[in-house]
Structure 1
Amino acid sequence: MHHSESGLRVLEEGRTCWRLARADRLAVIVDAAAYFAAAKAAILQARHTVFLIGWDFDLSIGLERTNPMPGVPDELGSFLAEAVKRRPGLRVFVLRWDLSFLKFPFRATLPLKLLDWLLGKRIDFRLDHEHPMGACHHQKIVVIDDCLAFCGGIDMTDYRWDTPAHRDDDPHRIDRGRAYQPWHDVTTCLTGEAAGALGELARERWRRATGEALPPPKAAAPCWPEHLSPDLTDVEVAIARTEPAYGEAQPEIREIEALYLAAIRAARHTIYIETQYFASHRIADALAKRLQEENGPEIVVINPRSAVGWLEEEVMGSARAVLVRDLAKQDRHGRFRIYTPVTKGGEDIYVHAKVVAVDDRLLRVGSSNLNNRSMGLDTECDLAVEAGAGQADRKVRQVITAIRDRLIAEHLGVAQERLAATLATEHGSMIRAIERLRRDDGRSLIPFEPPELTEAEVAMAESRLLDPDRPERMAPEFGERLTLPSLRTALGIGLVAAAGIAAAVALARRRAEASRSRPARYARPPRNPDRHARARRDRA
């Protein structure tokens, strides 16, 4: 049977997901301003436990910067202390990847440790180091009393807060006294059985990281934020994971990769992707096969113009340039586009979201990027909803389409109704609708232009040295292939970076902060056909 005509389900326990569970309510939240406000409102209703499981946390960030709750501290650390003071039986568990401080070394961890001592262990802060060498914990999960959970791509850390308006020079988009570039992100909020399953996952992650087994909390009343409107009610949600093999007790789990591949195979008309990185060779191969088909789906990828730091751009940016050029060669029918979003003033919007929408059939939001690490090396968690073909699933199909269109319309700076009308005029073609609505100035989507790469950068990208999908592939297998000087150079760069040399990390930090702060009103070169020339000169 031709896969685009297959009626087989994409979501299948034990293959493309870990667990299928009902959610009483499910909302897709766009950008951190709305997420931080919703999380704050929900945590204030917690009675027993709050789990904050993430790649990074910064206790100094403001959660509600435009209209904070009266009488409630707004900085994350002070807010958590206030929450446990208000609820005598409440405990807060914070688990952060233990090497995130290398990338962002100036974290406010000491105040939380003091709070831990002062509040009699009712706020428990731990660092998660139970990973293979070179791997990281990348899940972004908040679970409250096992009755409500948030899961997606947004970290509770600095340089994340923004609104869908992505205003140029927004006075609230400042952390540590520095302005930073607009930031696009997505997460989910859900209640019911699915939230309880995420609670189980959070406690298991805590047990592996700390050795402490925690019991499930007592039943608690729902704590849905009043201002948050659910997109779906009484819907089945899939939870998919990536976990690297680690010791005898932790086998490799690649449900997320299986989910991506199955979703790509199942697509009939459109595949819409938002991702921080675009570097997975297996995903690119699967997309290339669909592009070669006579009647395959259109594929639109939304990506940041460049990675945040110099080191990430050298690794992930080079891999993306190679994959995009390869996909362009396979795109026989003109059905592939990759765009980067910009603000009204032409400032790049950083895309940190991890979203996939396939036709009106499947929506996936999570922590995993389209790079090799997210498929097998780093610890990830994604959620997915799949609509059936029957009349009962009509609402789910409508919501999947509406969320995709909401995201595209936001990037184009147009009303969602106008996008829907244009899609109808263009017979459902995302590419033709985007091309009709986008513009070369103002809020819009700009076609991504891969930069020219040096021989060493191509060798780095093709070796996948710093973007492996398994721990054992971090470096050794490339030792026998060091015949080219360029590959020897790439390996040298890779080993330095993989070892976490402080000088390289500090350099990435400084350059990232400099690009974010843009003290002179985000000054940058104007967009033009040779906008990557400056970056090439800098590398040279």
Structure 2
Amino acid sequence: MTGTVDEAPDAPSGEAPDEAPGATPPGDDGLLGAWFLTAEERGNPDTDLDRRHGAGQPWTTGNLVVPLIHGREYFTRLLATVEKLDEGDLLLFTDWRGDLDQRLDGAGSEVGEVLGRAAQRGVVVRGLVWRSHLELLSFSSKPNRLLAERLTRSGAQVVLDHRVRRGGSHHQKLVVARPAEDPAAGVAFAGGIDLCYNRRDDAAHAGDPQGQPIAAEYGDAPPWHDIQVEVRGPAVGDLEHTFRERWDDPSSLDTPNPLRRLYYRIRPVATRTDPLPDPQVDPPPVGSHNVQILRTYPRRLRPPYPFAQVGERSIARAYQKVLRRARRLIYLEDQYMWSTEVALLFADALRRAPDLHLIIVVPRYPTQGGPLSLPPNLVGRERALEVCRAAGGHRVAVYDVENHAGTPVYVHAKAVTVDDVWASVGSDNLNRRSWTHDSELAVATIDDELDPREPRDPGGLGDGARVFARDLRLRLWREHLDWDGPDDDLLDPEAGFAAFRRRAEDLAAWHADGRVGDRPPGRIVPHEPDRLGRLRRAWAAPLYHAIYDPDGRPRRMRSAGQW
């Protein structure tokens, strides 16, 4: 696979590689403008993100983006990166949940220890961790507070950030490392993987040894499928800028609850942010990947975000634009896929393109399986999948994943590829909450390098298959299908769709027959969610809309069905 972890340089030279045979001109604005958002299409005039690159180019060229599949691979890379940082270097991170004793590798690699040692060496460590709702509600207020306290005592500044819309969260998962003496060595990590329990799994899916129970069906060490990307090149500057916008928000970090505010005053946690060091120049070009950074911020009132006064929904708008261009294959992995409004965009694409196929990989069960929490989790997905299937019929396939022991794997990944051209990996799920209400972050990538394997232009629009998107799709498919042969039967969208279905149906039949004989290859089975009766749907639907999948758009946009 192009751009594997072993190939990612520790300190890029800054020299752009020679143009590969069959490559398009670097940063072909015609192609990129057809897939990426323009500054106007982003719809957020309050951010400087697009203006950093001059007029007419709200993306960066010459990057190297490396997919890190599963937490073990990501944590290994992150540990090596942090351990190399020294006095005066800059380390920035955001997190939804952080557990200070979560190991990145073996003993001594606990998150609190690794980041704390960096701060003690003189690394400028700054963190934005969601303050979170209470543990009583199955959230993360205590572990996030303990992590912030531990790092503060080590000399870092980590704030508990609850500057969100009511009922919302900060869901971005980002780490940026900028060595002070070598701007070219800057690196960033973004995607779906938090620095917390359950995440350090690998392709075998035995689970993280530091497992935290979720729904009982996943066991004590839930198998966990997730994706992060390692980014080098000019896009690191865009990711750093995203952190700086949030850090520099002058809004108060205090809680309105006077008792809780007093509690935080006597704890070693910062309630304000000190100025960051001046930003370095962006790292120079190092690869063939064009990158657009996409975000979600809600419309927050009293006060609004200074960098997104009416919010930002560039993730939603990117999907809206890309799906209009889809012709042959959309492959997506998602934790939820449960909003009707989101599903309607996929349904429109399926109706528009009669040869378009859609594969969706989701978890078999929600994280919470109680009698009160389960139905609201199911009601949104039930309707969303009905919408997609009604539009695409046999061209829509939905699967969930299990390991070789038959234990379901929790799919936490948020990744999509479209026609082997455009790919996105981020923190965002396919639901209204992620597209409008919580803070989210995604890395959209289009490779300049054309893939020479047939079909060379699956979409038929002259865009050509791109190495990054195709290799990402094939790497994920090889894992899910236990595919150890040549990729020929997976390259063509329709043939690959059929291969996926065969493997899933064979495994489902083996289970149905009592698991007699050898287990067939593959780890995916057709997804068959529990059906909600009329009574359960009647009380679950209002909870789903109000609490599980709220809408952070201005009222006029909701009414008009706009993102």
Q: TM-score range by the shorter chain?
A: 0.7 to 0.9
SS of 1:237's equivalent? strand
Q: 1:372-424 deviations in whole A, cap 9, x for unaligned? A: 10110111011101257989999970221111011111112222x44x22235
1:265 aligns with 2:324: yes
Counterpart position of 1:200: 241
Alignment gaps of 5+ in structure 2: 1-30, 43-49, 51-57, 214-218, 254-271, 453-461, 511-518
Q: Secondary structure at the match of 1:26?
A: strand
**Partner of residue 13, structure 1:** 38
Corresponding residue of 2:82: 43
Does residue 1:314 correspond to 2:381, yes or no? Answer: no
2:295 corresponds to: 241
Specify the SS of the correspondent of 1:9: helix
The offset of 1:7, in angstroms, is: 9.4
Q: Distance in 1 between matches of 2:449 and 2:124?
A: 44
Contact (CA 8 Å) 2:336, 2:431: kept in 1 or not?
yes
Partner of 2:514: none
Alpha-carbon separation, structure 2, partners of 1:193 and 1:91: 21
- How far apart are the structure 2 equivalents of 1:165 and 1:56? 24
Q: Residues 317 and 171 from structure 1, CA distance in 2 versus in 1: closer, same or farther, beyond 3 angstroms?
A: closer
**Counterparts of 2:176 and 2:328, CA distance in 1:** 36
Structure 1 residue 339 and structure 2 residue 385: aligned? no
The secondary structure found in structure 1 opposite 2:35 is coil
Inter-partner Cα distance in structure 2 for 1:404 and 1:179: 30
TM-score with structure 2 setting the length: 0.72
1:158-177 to 2 correspondences below 5 Å: 158-167=197-206, 172=209, 174=211
User: CA 1:258/1:213 → structure 2, altered by over 3 Å: closer, same or farther?
Assistant: farther
Partners of 2:96 and 2:130 within 8 A in 1? yes
* 2:123 is aligned with 1:98: no
1:70-469 correspondence runs (5 A): 73-85=108-120, 87-88=121-122, 90-102=123-135, 103-105=138-140, 107-109=142-144, 112=147, 115-116=150-151, 118-119=153-154, 122-145=155-178, 147-167=186-206, 172=209, 174=211, 179-208=220-249, 210=253, 212=273, 214-217=275-278, 219=280, 233-247=287-301, 248=304, 249=306, 250-293=309-352, 295-310=354-369, 313-332=374-393, 334-387=394-447, 397-415=466-484, 417-418=485-486, 420-423=487-490, 428-438=494-504, 439-440=506-507, 441=510, 442=519, 443-459=522-538, 460-461=540-541, 464-466=545-547, 467-469=549-551
Asked if structure 1 preserves the Cα contact closer than 8 Å seen for 2:199 and 2:208, the reply is no
Matched, 1:28 2:53: no
Deviates more, 1:154-163 or 1:20-29: 20-29
Structure-1 separation of matches of 2:168 and 2:34: 31
Task: Figure out how many residues of one structure are paired with residues of the other and give that number.
Answer: 445
The unaligned stretches of length 5 or more in structure 1 are: 1-5, 223-229, 478-540
Distance in 2 (alpha carbons) for counterparts of 1:427 and 1:382 = 25
1:350 offset after TM fit, Å? 0.4
Q: What residue number does 1:57 align with?
A: 98
Q: Secondary structure of the residue that 2:85 maps to in structure 1?
A: coil
Overall identity of the aligned pairs, in %: 27
Which amino acid in 1 is paired with 2:490? L
Query: Bigger shift: 437-446 or 277-286?
Result: 437-446
**Partners of 1:409 and 1:284 in 2: how far apart?**
27
Structure 1 contact 318–457 (Cα < 8 Å) conserved: no
Structure 1 counterpart SS, 2:248: helix
The answer (yes or no) to whether the contact 2:165–2:438 under 8 Å persists in 1 is no
Q: 1:117 to 1:365 in 2, by over 3 A?
A: closer
Q: Amino acid of the residue matched to residue 315 of structure 1?
A: P
User: Once the two structures are superposed, what CA deviation does each residue of 1:433-484 show, in whole Å capped at 9, x if it has no partner?
Assistant: 21233331554211111322132443443772221222788xxx9xxxxxxx
| Structure 1 residue 235 displacement after superposition | 2.0
Return the alpha-carbon distance in structure 2 between the equivalents of residues 194 and 297 of structure 1. 31
Q: Distance in 1 between matches of 2:145 and 2:191?
A: 27
**SS of residue matched to 1:364:** strand
**Counterpart-to-counterpart distance in 1, 2:208 and 2:196:** 18
Deviations 1:258-306 (A, max 9, x none): 1111111111110001000011222211211233346241000000011
Query: Counterpart in 1 of 2:8?
Result: none
Q: Secondary structure at the match of 2:546?
A: coil
Q: Given that residues 173 and 179 in structure 1 are in contact (C-alpha distance below 8 angstroms), is that contact kept between their aligned partners in structure 2?
A: no
Residue deviations 1:4-39, cap 9 Å, x none?
xx9961202325555412354221110000111111
Q: For residue 297 of structure 2, what is the amino acid of its counterpart?
A: E
CA–CA separation in structure 1 for the residues paired with 2:112 and 2:139: 17
Contact 1:55–1:100 (8 Å) recurs in 2: no
Q: Secondary structure at the match of 1:263?
A: helix
Which AA in structure 2 matches 1:194? A
Letter in 1 for 2:39: G
Bigger mean CA deviation after superposition, 33-42 or 91-100: 91-100
State the SS of the aligned residue for 1:131: coil
Where do 1:499-538 residues align within 5 Å? none
CA pair 116-359 structure 1, distance change in 2 beyond 3 A: closer
Letter matched to residue 396 of structure 2: F
Counterparts of 1:132 and 1:38, CA distance in 2:
33
What per-residue deviation string (whole Å, max 9, x for no partner) do you get for residues 194-232 of structure 1?
Answer: 11111111122122265536344565998xxxxxxx9x9
CA distance in 2, matches of 1:150, 1:140: 8
| Paired residue type of 2:83 | L
| Alignment RMSD (CA, Å) | 3.2
Distance in 2 of aligned mates of 1:449 and 1:322: 13
For residues 335 and 133 of structure 2, what CA distance do their matches in structure 1 show?
Answer: 17
**Cα distance in structure 2, aligned partners of 1:220 and 1:82:** 26
Give how far 1:143 is off.
Answer: 0.8
Q: Secondary structure at the match of 2:115?
A: helix
Question: TM-score under structure 1 normalisation?
Answer: 0.75
Using the TM superposition, name which of 213-222 and 189-198 deviates more.
Answer: 213-222
Change (3 A) 1:50 1:427: closer
Tell me the CA shift for residue 323 of structure 1: 1.8
| The 10-residue stretch of structure 1 (366-375 or 436-445) with the greater mean CA deviation from structure 2 | 436-445
Contact 1:341–1:349 (8 Å) recurs in 2:
yes
Q: Please, which moves more after superposition, 190-199 or 99-108?
A: 99-108
Q: Secondary structure at the match of 1:360?
A: coil
Name the residue aligned to 1:523.
none
